[in-house]
Amino acid sequence: MKVDKKGHTTILKETKGDILAFIDNVSNQYASYKDQNLILDVTQDKKVTISDIINFKKLAKQHQKAKKSFVIVSDVVEFNELPDDITVVPSLLEAHDIIEMEEIERDLGF
């Protein structure tokens, strides 16, 4: 797992091709990232499925409850088939855009 911090956002990149191990790593080290907006980049693993992404649901809800953004980057899943409480986008640029919009919404009190 590669970690890259930029301002108020941490990007966690899955590098081993094992999404379940990545989910475990993120969950086990969550205390280190809980105060940051998170982008989880799983674009290197072309075998990621919708059920793999859904495994992030509990962590996503916990992070969003703490008023922080949680965005997954994957370009191989069908976005319309995912639950509404998990934000998935096809590129890092879009992930940063989502976080910026959510920060503005939080600043405005939404």
Bridge partners (DSSP) of residue 2 are 13
pLDDT, tens digit (0-9, with 9 covering 90-100), for 69-105: 999 999 998 888 888 889 999 999 999 999 999 999 9
Domains of the chain: 2-108 (3.30.750.24)
Q: How many residues would you count in the chain?
A: 110
pLDDT of 66? 92
Task: Work out the number of other CB atoms within 10 angstroms of the CB of residue 17.
Answer: 13
Considering only residues 85 and 40, tell me which one the structure prediction assigns the higher pLDDT.
40
pLDDT of 109? 85
pLDDT of 77? 87
Considering the entire predicted model, what is its pTM?
0.93
